Structures are given as C-alpha cells and as structure tokens.
Structure 1
Amino acid sequence: MSKRTVTCAVAVMAAAAFTVSIPSVAQAADTHAGTKALLDRALQNAPGAAVFAGNAAGSWVLQSGTGDTQAAKPIQPGEHHRIASQTKTFTAVVTLQLADEGKVALDTPIETSLPGVVDGNGYDGTKITVRQLLQHHSGIPVNNNPRPARNPDGSYTLREVVRDGLSLKPNSAPGTKFEYSNTNFEILGLLIEKVTGRSAGEAITERIIKPLGLQATGYPRGGDRTLPAPYVHGYAGGRVGPIFFWVDNTTNVEPSMFGTAGAIESTMSDVTAFYRALATGKLVSSAGLAEMRKTIPWEGAPAGYDYGLGLVKHTLSCGGDAWGHPGNVVGYATWTAATDDGRYATVVTNTFSAAAGTNGDDLRFEILDAAICGR
C-alpha cells in the first residue's frame, strides 16, 4: 500500500427505532476558502469532487467540477454513490453489536463459529481471532486480482468470495503484521450470517440502516449494478493520442464481488449520519465503541492515521481525533469521519483514486482535515 494513495478496493439495540437527523444544509459562500482550494485540486484526477461537512449547529457543502460530464452538475449531498470500504464499518458495527449481546467474543478464534472455513493453505482458524479479522491483523493478504466462481447471473456468493481470498497463502502469522484485506471482512460477513441466521445484507439493514432511518442507503442484491436516482456518475480516465476523456463506469461494479467489505451504496448525508451515530454511542455500547477505537499503526497510511476495529483514527491538525473510514471502488473515492464534539465531514470524488496531496499522500485526507478543522 503506497503512501501516495491508500486504497481500500469500496450495542444492544434499543427497543424503539431511532433516527439520526442531519441539520439543514447551507451552501458555503466565501467561507472555507482553504477547503475549497483543496477540493479544486481534486479535479486533477476526477471530473467532480464535493465535501459535506458541519457540526451540531448545521451543515455546509462545497463542490468542484461535475457529477455528470454530460450535464455539468455539481455533486449533491443527496445523490447516491458507492461507499466501497466504508462498508467495513457497517460490518464491524454489527459484529460489535453481536459481541454486546454475548453472541460473539472478539478474542475467540474464528474456527469456533465458522469451523473449517479458515483452514488449509497455511491457515489455521484456531489461531485467527475475530478481533484480528476486524483489524486486518490476521495474516490474510490483500487480493488484488479476485477471481471467485460466478453464479449464473454473474453475481458471487460471499462464501465463494472468501474461498477465493483464502486461495492466497498467508503473508504473516496472525497478530504480527497489519495488511489491509477485503477477505477479513468477507469472513466477518459469514460470521454475521451464521450467528444471526440472516443474510449479511439483511442483518446490516435491520440493525443499522432501518433504525437510523438511512432511506438512501442500501446493501444491493447480487447482480444489481445500478444506482438509484439521483446518483453521482462514476468515471475512469482514458486517452487516445493527445485527447483525454472520461468513460462512465457507474455500472461496471458487481457489488457481490466485495460483499461485506465494500458493497453498500449511500449518499453523503446518509453516510455522515451513520458515522455521527456511531461517534455518539447510538449503535454500540460504550465498551464496544472503546474496543473499536483500540488502534494499531496503519502501515502505508500517512502519519496520524491508525486502524481500530473497522474504524480509522484521523489525528486532526487542529487537535483531537476524528473517526471514520475511506473507500475506493471503480468510479468512486470516499472518506467520512466524525468527532465526539459533533464535527464531521464526508468527501467524495467520482473516480477510483483521489489526487495526491501536499506531501504526496491522499488528497482526501487534507480535504477532510480542512473541513473538520474549519479552514
């Protein structure tokens, strides 16, 4: 994982449902000039970029470029896009909820709940814990060229995606090295299904999406490559001789390829509400949130970024920490984080990887920091 771009290939519940509301959005005028300058730089690598940010008093939005090259239309907070690896935090939350309920133990070997799944080819499920899967500390390597067997409709089962990931031999002994791998969270998806008796998508929907009232957020069915309208178009850059152009690849992603590691689609306002709810204790117990915030160094990330249990700590330039997760998938690069005192920001660009920042790191890090710190 290079320092230039960190790539992420996308409590006991209260009896009554609860809803997280985002304050009304006010278009930023001449304020947030530093954030806007950084956002404009994102157009070096994408047709469009936007940041949705604010605090307990209200929200604001800044945009550069377009979310649709055929319409010159800035990206809006209510438009759908793929959130990629931000899905991992949803998966982690359900896992911690199950731990709160006494149905999962973080330091128990995965073999206990999923006998025979993580076994062979150098793996021993009796030595890999749930915590290590949540923290990318299992020894399972990144799978940069996934080739799971397809279903007749072109979709993939979660179990087949896991089998494909485990076809690569481990890179290290469990608990000794950080290595970001979708396979960790796809295994956690199987764990959720085994413990709840529901599909992972159903469990995430019933435990998070519906209680929070995230009406624009969904865990898509396998084979459904579309996004609900209105949506941000995703793009890849192309060139023929001296001519550069953007190719719309919005529907090129099969979401079941990533499953509980990266399948969810949402909007800037919805995904912000999710991370704010997590930061304010509405999704897991205080003990569960404390476990999620026990971090280890995130190898390959810029200084100030550490990895917890499906949750990333961003040490802010203005002091304190924000907690969230980035995501990269065909057509989109995202990042959301929220603080305990009510500040938050979501950044979206509509191509796979963000432009490089000042120090050669991912520009999204700088945009997020500037937005939360009020520059």
Structure 2
Amino acid sequence: MGVHMADDTSATGVTREGDTAVRQVLDAAVREGGVPGILAEIRDGGGQWYGTAGAADTDTCRPRGHGDRFRIGSITKTFTATVLLRLVAEGRLTLEDTVERWLPGMVTGNGHDGSAVTVRRLLDHTSGIHSHTNDQPALSRQASYTPGELVAIALSHPADFPAGTGWAYSNTNYVLAGLIVERVTGRGLAEEIADRLVRPLGLTGTSLPLGADPDLPAPHARHYTRLFSPDPGAPVHDATELETSPYWAAGGMISTVSDLTRFLAALLGGELLGPEQQREMLTMVPTADWLPRASYGLGLSRLVLPSGVPVWGMGGALFGSWSYVYGTRDGSRVVAANINADWVRGRWEDPVGLFTDLLEAGLGPAAGGVQSLD
C-alpha cells in the first residue's frame, strides 16, 4: 500500500516543496482513514506531480493509477457554469435573463416563480428552488429520469425561500442551467461541454455521459459506497456502474485528476472566460449550512483554509467517489484529488476534513500559499 512519489517510476514531475506533505496525507488517508484508495495531482509552473495510495480494487488489490477515471459529482457545475458564461460573452443571453424567458411555464407552483429567478440566481444558488436530490424516495421510483422529471420532483416541494432572499445548495438549479444551455444553443449539453471545453483543452478523460449510460470508462477505480452513512459498520456497496441521469448538469460528469487540474488552471488563469465573465464567476455570496469558511460564486467556490489561505475551486461527491479541485486565484498552482469511497474514519470526521488537510498541504503556507487578509 505504498504512495507513488515523484521520484519513483510510477510518477511524473519533480518533487517540490509541499509535495512531501501531500504524500503524507495520502498515506494517512488509507492507513488511518480507511479509504480504499486515494489519488492526487499538483499542477504548477514546475510541471505536474502525482501520488496515489491504496487500492483501485479491494478484491484484486490493484493500486490506484494516475490515469484513473472517476465520477466528479458537483465539479460538473463548474463546467456547466463556464459554458453558460461563454454564451453570455457571446451575447446569446444575460445573467439577468429569467428562467421564465428561456423555459416558459417550467418553474411555477409551491412558491417557485420562474419569472423571479434569473440565470445568476441559478448559478449562485440564491434561487430558492428546492433541490430534487433531497427527495431520494422520488429518485428511486424508476430506472432513469429526464431533466424535466427532475425539475418536477423539485417543484413538488415548497420553495426554500423567495428568489434572491437566501442561499441554499440546489442541484435543480444546475439542471435548469443545463436546460437553458440546450435551449439557447439548440444542442445537447454534453456536446457543448465537449466542443467548448473538453476538446480545446485536450481533456481526454473527461465526459458527460449521454442518456442513462451507467458505464465508467477504463481505466478506473471501483467506486465503493456506504450510501453516505456515518455508521462505520454500514455495509459497503460497489457503485462503479451507476445510472447518473438524476445528476446530469449538476453532477454527472467523469474526469481524471490531470484533466481537472488542467481545466481549473485554465479557468482561473483566464484562458476560458473574458475578464467580465471571470469577474462574475468569482463574485462570491455567503453560504449557509455548507462547507466551513466557504463562499460561492457562479459554479465556483472560495474556501479559506484553517491557515488563512484562500483557495478557489469546487468539490463533488457521488456514490463511491469524492473529489476536490482547488487552486490559487491565478491558477498558478492547482491540486486535484479523489477517493474511491464516500467515507473516512480516524482523525477526520468526514471526507471534507481529509480534503481540507490535503489542500493545506498542497496550497497552504508550507507550499507557498499567501494568507488571506479577511
């Protein structure tokens, strides 16, 4: 159960300051935290470093690999928001357009009002639209779901608050954002993500599955889930093959650590959005009952690490897979990581604690991070 380091035959790049601390967290995640396997990559001006620990497959003890594909959950939101902001830059819609304008009659009832919900309020989670993923019984009634069916599940519940008066994380916001992309362009969201982001950046391991395809392309780790139960004795299930239509534009994508660091470095570095759209994406609003010391922009979050260092990026969790990708404000140093589980034990209360330690090691003071002034 070794950790692959930058100076062995399984890694790339050259060991730099902070990489040793990251390696220690990876090792502890498996030895103390009990995760099956973990994978991380650091990208900066000096190149790329990656490390792994533990197993991709607990039956065969096959180790995790640098090229493993995994489900990235809510990091999908950053891709969806970037596509929408590029359409805004092209003048095809504005952030102040309403849902009612683009999806007439879709958002209404139970306190939901599509004429009061703007594109901006979808992307920064201030819409008040209830999240369909809070109704797991409704998501267990059939094999797959259309985006319209997901919206209907959300609207069967009262709105969380009147649009623009609060903050609540809602996956339905991004289902609606994906539908708006399709209405504006006349093309599928998967095509838009592929043509605007995946192909230009050379993200060869990244995709949004079409339809109800449950397959995870090789190479990949097995995805092990306890169904997010905090009980250490909860049974473990294999969720590698997973029908992800309930998550789609909000959480259905697949990627690799190399693709994620490349994408976020390009995004924060100004390669994907013009100055005005990047400023909009990075305009943060306060969050509620979410990550510690977090604020949220348009598909991108800002965390202040316990050391005081601010970082920008996104995390995502889906059954059997938990991922983070965060970097410096200018994208000059980015860290991406994935565990093929949705639990951790030992000194961490949950995977958020584990990833916080990993970000401190890779982006904090020891790695040259600058403390926040706020």
**Same fold per superposition (TM over 0.5):** yes
Query: Residue 351 of structure 1 aligns with which residue?
Result: 341
Amino acid at match of 1:368: L
Query: Superposed, which structure 2 residues align to 1:211-222 within 5 Å?
Result: 211-222=200-211
Mapped pair 1:291 → 2:272: no
Query: Residue 195 of structure 1 aligns with which residue?
Result: 184
Query: Superposed, which structure 2 residues align to 1:248-327 within 5 Å?
Result: 248-251=238-241, 253-316=242-305, 321-327=310-316
Q: Which has the higher helix share?
A: 2
Contact in 2 for aligned 1:135/1:310 (Cα 8 Å): yes
**Candidates 16, 21, 38, aligned match of 1:49:** 38
Distance 1:58 1:352, change over 3 A: same
Deviation at 1:76, TM superposition (A): 2.3
Contact in 2 for aligned 1:148/1:163 (Cα 8 Å): no
**Candidates 43, 51, 56, aligned match of 1:67:** 56
**Candidates 105, 130, 133, aligned match of 1:116:** 105
Mapped pair 1:175 → 2:190: no
Contact in 2 for aligned 1:314/1:323 (Cα 8 Å): yes
In structure 2, distance between residues paired with 1:52 and 1:335: 11
**Candidates 357, 363, 372, aligned match of 2:363:** 372
In structure 2, distance between residues paired with 1:81 and 1:311: 20
What is the CA deviation profile of residues 330-363 of structure 1, one whole-angstrom value per residue up to 9, with x for unaligned ones?
1100000122151010011111245586687532
In structure 2, distance between residues paired with 1:352 and 1:47: 10
Distance 1:234 1:149, change over 3 A: closer
In structure 2, distance between residues paired with 1:203 and 1:130: 18
Structure 1 unaligned spans of 5+: 1-23
Query: Residue 362 of structure 1 aligns with which residue?
Result: 353
Contact in 2 for aligned 1:357/1:366 (Cα 8 Å): no
Q: Between the two proteins, what is the percent identity of the paired residues?
A: 35
Amino acid at match of 1:61: Y
Deviation at 1:317, TM superposition (A): 5.7
Deviation at 1:325, TM superposition (A): 0.5
Contact in 2 for aligned 1:53/1:372 (Cα 8 Å): no
Comparing 317-326 with 91-100, greater Cα deviation is found at: 317-326
Aligned length: 347
Amino acid at match of 2:29: A
**Candidates 180, 193, 196, aligned match of 1:204:** 193
Query: Residue 122 of structure 2 aligns with which residue?
Result: 133
Deviation at 1:314, TM superposition (A): 2.4
In structure 2, distance between residues paired with 1:33 and 1:93: 33
Structure 2 counterpart SS, 1:176: coil
Deviation at 1:163, TM superposition (A): 1.7
Structure 2 counterpart SS, 1:163: helix
Deviation at 1:216, TM superposition (A): 1.1
Query: Superposed, which structure 2 residues align to 1:93-172 within 5 Å?
Result: 93-142=82-131, 143-146=133-136, 147=138, 154-172=143-161
Distance 1:353 1:260, change over 3 A: farther
In structure 1, distance between residues paired with 2:342 and 2:40: 16
Amino acid at match of 2:12: V
Query: Residue 332 of structure 2 aligns with which residue?
Result: 342
Mapped pair 1:92 → 2:81: yes
In structure 2, distance between residues paired with 1:128 and 1:30: 46
In structure 2, distance between residues paired with 1:187 and 1:289: 21
Query: Residue 232 of structure 1 aligns with which residue?
Result: 221
Deviation at 1:119, TM superposition (A): 1.2
What is the CA deviation profile of residues 133-176 of structure 1, one whole-angstrom value per residue up to 9, with x for unaligned ones?
1011111233322425988xx33211222222222210111112
In structure 1, distance between residues paired with 2:293 and 2:46: 27
TM-score (norm 2): 0.85
Query: Residue 38 of structure 1 aligns with which residue?
Result: 25
Structure 2 counterpart SS, 1:255: coil
In structure 2, distance between residues paired with 1:329 and 1:321: 25
Structure 2 counterpart SS, 1:156: coil
Structure 2 counterpart SS, 1:256: coil
Deviation at 1:367, TM superposition (A): 0.8
Mapped pair 1:247 → 2:241: no
Comparing 168-177 with 288-297, greater Cα deviation is found at: 168-177
Structure 2 unaligned spans of 5+: 1-10, 368-374
TM-score (norm 1): 0.85
Amino acid at match of 1:346: A
